[in-house]
A and B are shown apart, each in its own frame.
Chain A
């Protein structure tokens, strides 16, 4: 580096220098980066253990330069419980999609949260099963067409999209529950702060922290990246409002 130039942007240390396998316009890469930035800022990369889930997000270990355990579909919060109970001083997080967390893994997420396990959960909600080819997810919006709701999600038959951030906020064991989006620079900055705060909750108070990230799946939505981003704003945020649903750490600070 010379005096003339200053490097203002670089790859977070916690991310490996590899090419992405995610589809064009997919938000996983952005969310991975925000998690890695949080690890860098909090200086926890060397003591962070990731728990990968099943779906597009399984390749966590291909991107993050950290130790990783791969969990069965939906079971990441239970696996993370086992890891954290053994490695009490390490930082443990799960990274799960909507089918994984809000359908097959509902019992595991609710009870890990309810026990107040000292883990961080990054929940990527893109309203569809990405890896299996765009089937209806527990978060698929009413009337949304997917390969298993070809006429659009019929709430009379299929029930309603689940709002996980709100649901978990109602549990005593939860320290922090929030919903963010990464469809615009403004939202990405806010999401970065939320993810950092979620990891910081674990570092400082050892509580259960949950960040739901509204995200795109342009391939399975049949949209280009820009249209997919617009859909987050127009269709997802009205049903899944952004905001902090619980923050016990702030409440304590306020007292």
Chain B
């Protein structure tokens, strides 16, 4: 397929359509509107359905209905809209429905602003809505990964029947760079959706998609079963990028857009003769705890860089069980600027001097 020069948001839309998504339900919000705009134009050409819903709440529930009917379907939004969707995401999690939710995160809280932010980390990886559940969270750092991880999100979501969230921001959503599209190949082990409602069509069994369990012990058993799936995800589906961590004395951890800047800082450090590496979680849930623990086993101190006031750093510190120092450097939502590679390099130098 031809190499293209496209926006990250467009790559999400292209990856989704290529992966067989034929149902999109959304509502306009900056900085993700390129996704519905692209899909509104392109999905009818492949016989798909685009609905601009009356609200984020309606769009997540349309996704719930389409997914319950066995279709590959998605919605996208940005932070305030994702908050509105949390009710539906909780119901999808409880009803074990797959489906893709894209959050091109902006700054908050409240209406906040439209600048790039990673302030929805906690909301994304800790469940987001009520009831104690998890969703699969993927964090692309490039236009190419926006395409690739959209496809992966559908596959993982279908395999585990857990909703998937793609978490990016305006940097990754709005940047234009090279994309090498490739045909989608469905994993051979994906099972037919024999749980989906379809009209009984002569079947004896009745298919019910629900999250209400009132019978004695039913809900408890249901929750333990969901929990077991999250454990399976932790065991099988962790993805991360380790950049020059093999011989590193110091490691920077960051995801998405922050990781791209951090990588430049790591390169600067290497040029200055400092043995610094980068660990970039690609799956935020499941989190690469084991990889971080192995670095901690080697006594490597870390610096976590985020476009927020410190969220993923908590999970990094939990993963390393506080056996090594984990410093934090970030930008509060609304800072209006991104950290430069030079600033992060300075943080690396400061922390290496203090800690080593």
Contact = CB atoms under 8 A, between A and B. Distances in A.
A182 to B, nearest CB: 26
20 contacts: A47-B200, A48-B199, A49-B69, A66-B200, A68-B208, A72-B87, A78-B64, A79-B61, A79-B64, A81-B51, A81-B62, A82-B65, A83-B69, A83-B197, A85-B66, A86-B69, A86-B70, A91-B199, A108-B54, A110-B54
Given A85-B62, A90-B199, 19 more contacts: A67-B197, A67-B199, A69-B65, A69-B197, A69-B209, A70-B208, A70-B212, A79-B65, A79-B68, A80-B65, A81-B51, A82-B64, A86-B66, A86-B69, A87-B197, A91-B199, A107-B57, A108-B54, A108-B57
A69 B65 CA distance: 7
A68 B199 CA distance: 9
Contacts of A83: 65-66, 68-69, 197
Contact of B209 (A70, A72, A75, A80): A70
Contacts of B197: 49, 67-69, 83, 87
Contacts of A75: 57-58, 61, 64, 88
A108 to B, nearest CB: 5
Contacts, number: 135
Q: Which of A61, A70, A84 has the most CB of B within 10 A?
A: A70
A107 B57 CA distance: 10
B208 to A, nearest CB: 5
Given A65-B200, A68-B197, A75-B61, A85 B23 contact: yes
A178 to B, nearest CB: 24
Contacts of A61: 206, 208, 210
Interface string B315-353: 000000000000000000000000000000000000000
A61 B211 CA distance: 13
Given A75-B88, A82-B63, A67 B198 contact: yes
B211 A70 contact: yes
B65 A81 contact: yes
A68 B54 CA distance: 24
Interface string A194-230: 0000000000000000000000000000000000000
